[in-house]
Amino acid sequence: MQKKALLVISFGTSYAETRKKTIAATEQRLQKAFPDHDFYRAFTSRMIISKLKKRDNEIVDVPREVLTKLKAAGYTHVRCQTTHIINGHEYDITLKEIKDFEADFESLTLGRPLLTTVEDYEETIDIVMGKLPKLKKGEALVYMGHGTDHHANATYPCLDYMFKMKGYEDVYVGTVEGFPELENIVPILKEKKYKKVYLAPFMLVAGDHATNDMASDDEESWKSVLEEERFRVECILEGLGEYPGIQDLFVEHLKKAQPVTEM
């Protein structure tokens, strides 16, 4: 007899409001697509897991802990879906943890991060640009991606290029911890004489980076830096996980998930 589980794996966030709008909303969309699977959640950020436990007495497992419990409970078929944006460090760790269990279930699959194929980039851009304000003359949109020292950081300049290829000449992609940085984008904004800049996170959740590094009044936030350069700035505090279209892309990735034995 088959016993099926769905494990949704996210980086996580300690911001309860955005977690409900993004991670939980995406989880619900995935559950709806696979109603015959029992649902389980895992986070990959040990720092966030520790903070939630200490602050809220809320327990969230890492993928390895959930899979250990699923094995003990007699599950035979397990579908896993990551909500990570890129194929970076967090995804590598996730895949390694899951592959350790490949012999413990009759079927164990993993769906890839949001931006994996060229088609993913194209569809994601169509979705997000359909949700944001239409840019007027003299306005630009700058996305804040997380960034990484992993080679998958190439995702962000690729994404920037793809926006331009699809006709969105006034959209730029920067990162907090990778390349391009805001300092690489500001000279372009000045050269093109934009008057107003929209800022939005290119992250699943509008959490710590969006709230503090992007939109706060701290002198080093992206908002403050751009205002110092005399741009009018409007921040859009919406995570990608709030958009039904993005949730549906994760559903499609889950439907196409590969057995971990083949990854």
Catalytic positions = 146
- 187 C-beta neighbours (distance < 10 Å), count: 10
In angstroms, rounded to a whole number, what is the distance separating the alpha carbons of residues 73 and 80? 17
**Beta pairing partners, 9:** 42, 82
Q: Are 174 and 184 in contact (CB under 8 A)?
A: yes
Q: Are 240 and 181 in contact (CB under 8 A)?
A: no
| Joined tokens for residue 223 | 């908002």
One-letter amino acid at 142 equals V
Report the SS3 class of residue 49.
helix
